[in-house]
Amino acid sequence: MADERFEGIKIRNLYKIFGPNGAAYVDAVRNGLSKAELNERHGHVLGLKDINIEMPAGCVQVIMGLSGSGKSTLIRHINRLIDPTAGEILVKGVDVVKMNAAQLQEFRRHQTAMVFQKFALLPHRNVLENAIYGLEVQGVPRAKGVETAMRWIERVGLNGFEQKYPNQLSGGMQQRVGLARALANDAPVLLMDEAYSALDPLIRMDMQTVLLDLQKEIKKTIVFITHDLDEALRLGDQIAILRDGEVIQQGTSQDIVLRPADEYIANFVKEVNRGRVIHVDAIMTPAEPGHRPNGTNIASGTTIEDAMRILTDRRADEDAAVMDSTGAAIGTLNLRQLASAIVTPH
């Protein structure tokens, strides 16, 4: 039996069928009734089919897919903005599906925070008043709330803008306010539904960097929804790719790029800059026991692109050592291996 003390989020056998009598068709879907057949024969829409994902605490779980794949439906199940037709959603071992109204309200206030694509700021409130809103709902004393909100406003780079109103801010700045509001609640789970999709590419990259830098410190369990593969690969400790309400593949960025599960995923990843995604650990030759490095060392977790910069002044067949965090040699590689890994296989 699975350990119910799992500290992250565990989704088990989750189904969502939209329509007046969705529960009546769960078994038929389990037995092979397709999304199209469900709609044509019974007038119901299959939103999610048999979702099973474990999201470790303190990690960024990306849910990725094209429009209509079910990714936004899935994230809204975690705080039960949408009720499932069948299945379990365990957060720190507690099934959110079984919570009564009072428990669910408490859970939403203290255990989760959400950042939306459209910012969802209150237009009549300035930056500070938006950031403090969740703390007011929780009943936090005003002075403490202001102190907390101001700390996060500063952390997301908006110091000096606390008296500005949303219509005085750029899209990127508005999203920083949304992030500050979510972080001020100090909830362990942060839900981000296409949070950066409405932003221009350069601002989007900037916000990704803000999130990655903050995550090193806050170590929240972050569920991040996106339709952009580059964003998924940059942010995700784990990635799950959905299509038509089903998980097609899940794993690390290395798994997705190096071992696509099918042609659908392979088409997604073929244009990826592999040099920025693949780590040396995935392509190195494992070191023999007792190997003593003699020459250039490269840290485990280094990308191919960065490793090539390190090795550009060496002979193509000359090996460098890959070192783990303890300083032990765990593998060797050379320029030839690095160059070969960058080329997308046909």
Q: For the packed helices 201-218 and 171-184, what is the interaxial angle rounded to 10 degrees?
A: 20
Where does the chain show beta strands of DSSP type E? 9-18, 45-55, 60-64, 86-91, 94-95, 112-116, 189-193, 221-226, 238-243, 246-251, 285-286, 297-299, 320-323, 329-333
Q: For the packed helices 171-184 and 142-155, what is the interaxial angle rounded to 10 degrees?
A: 130
Spans of the chain, pLDDT less than 50: 1-3
pLDDT of residue 2: 45
Is the domain defined by 276-342 classed in CATH 3.40.50.300? no
pLDDT of residue 29: 95
Q: Is 309 exposed, middle or buried (0-12, 13-18, 19+ CB in 10 A)?
A: exposed
> What are the structural domain ranges in the chain?
57-272, 276-342
For 57-272, give the CATH class.
Answer: alpha beta
Amino acid at 122: L
pLDDT of residue 77: 96
pLDDT of residue 151: 93
Pairing, β 86-91 against β 9-18:
antiparallel
* Predicted confidence (pLDDT) per residue in 231-272, tens digit: 999 999 999 999 999 999 999 988 999 899 999 898 888 888
Helices and strands (H, E) in the chain, number of each type: 15, 14
The 60-64 sheet, strands edge to edge:
112-116, 189-193, 221-226, 60-64, 238-243, 246-251
pLDDT of residue 345: 63
